[in-house]
Amino acid sequence: MPLVTIARKISIAVLLGALCALAIGLYVVLSFMDDFGACQLTILSSIASPSGRKKLVTFSRECNATVPLNTQMSIMSSPRSFSPEQSPPFFVALQGPRITAGWVSEDLVEVAVPAEGAIVRRDTSVGNVRIEYR
């Protein structure tokens, strides 16, 4: 086999190896960047309504340094698994204050909010459920 053919095969093999290494490196960097901004959802409590058809879900969301410590609440239909995208929060407080809440009746939820903690969302109803704060 001529020396030129061997050198060409070696060059092609080195080029393919370099392209594979570049592709793997790019995949690792993009995977890391994708996970860097990912949020972790922690369900703090889930309380069924008197009929059991709805749930009052208290949760927090942690997104690395991009989202401060927080406490959020949503109302959802019971048979589903919880998703804040499907059941958006009606209450959001920063600095993670200790919130207590419960069902008074099928269409009324009572939420006790301490003075500390910045409230950024405080809706008074979710569908046909009224929310009362004290």
Residues 20-70: pLDDT tens digits? Answer: 565 565 555 544 445 555 778 999 999 999 999 999 999 998 877 666 788
The CA–CA distances, whole Å, from 11 to 4, 15, 24 equal 10, 6, 20
Q: Are residues 77 and 110 in the same domain?
A: yes
CA atoms of 18 and 55, how far apart (whole Å): 54
Q: Are residues 82 and 121 in the same domain?
A: yes
Write down the pLDDT at residue 32.
47
Q: Of all residues in the chain, what percent carry a pLDDT higher than 90?
A: 49
Q: Are residues 97 and 51 in the same domain?
A: yes
Q: Are residues 61 and 123 in the same domain?
A: yes
DSSP letter (8 states) at residue 117: S
Task: Give the number of domains in the chain.
Answer: 2
Give 110's pLDDT tier (boundaries 50, 70, 90).
very high
Reduced to 3 states (helix: H, G, I; strand: E, B; else coil), residue 120 is strand
Residue 107 domain boundaries: 40-133
Q: Are residues 114 and 53 in the same domain?
A: yes
Q: Are residues 20 and 53 in the same domain?
A: no
Q: Are residues 59 and 74 in the same domain?
A: yes
Q: Are residues 51 and 18 in the same domain?
A: no
Write down the pLDDT at residue 9.
72
CA 127 from chain centre, in angstroms, equals 23
Q: Are residues 32 and 47 in the same domain?
A: no
Q: Are residues 67 and 6 in the same domain?
A: no
Q: Are residues 26 and 55 in the same domain?
A: no
Write down the pLDDT at residue 33.
45
Q: Are residues 60 and 119 in the same domain?
A: yes
